[in-house]
Chains A and B, each alone.
Chain A
Amino acid sequence: GAGVSQTPSNKVTEKGKYVELRCDPISGHTALYWYRQSLGQGPEFLIYFQGTGAADDSGLPNDRFFAVRPEGSVSTLKIQRTERGDSAVYLCASSLGLGQGLGETQYFGPGTRLLVL
């Protein structure tokens, strides 16, 4: 596609439920990133994929959060037993993936706004 797409654009769920957020990166981009943006804050790094593998998942806040990218393209961020504090905009970005040391530009999707009631 022309850009990074994320679905759904909005998700309302109840505390304790499970949610999945999807990211479709730019075609050909092997690097993919998930961020979380709380109100009034900048994006906070969650996880970085190079191809199918998570090269750095140190930003995941706890074991309720998990992300996969089984075929090296689409990625899904999964949140179990959601809590009200998980409410935020979840951003996905992709880049060419030629190497982190090259300072590649990340292209961001519009985000998924998650509200946990």
Chain B
Amino acid sequence: EAGVAQSPRYKIIEKRQSVAFWCNPISGHATLYWYQQILGQGPKLLIQFQNNGVVDDSQLPKDRFSAERLKGVDSTLKIQPAKLEDSAVYLCASSLAGGSSYEQYFGPGTRLTVT
């Protein structure tokens, strides 16, 4: 089966600019996750979708980050405006469902550099 797809793979922007990342989960996977991984750290969950509804966005900095999954398939994560500390790899993952029994499959990530 095809894996989780993400684009772009790399992005360099200046601070205060905007950026958007796209994720296409594995077909049939109802649950989609966005993680932020800062250099030297483990991934940190930003937001979790179940179909097109938000299940958990408690760690999403909502003043500058937004995410949507309008049709319950693809998702976009946006940062506006970006700060230097947003430099990180943004990982998308998906699973069949959100329960504890379901493995999360990760995409290749988008490496964002904010200068």
- A and B: bona fide binding partners: no
Interface residues of A (CB under 8 A from B): none
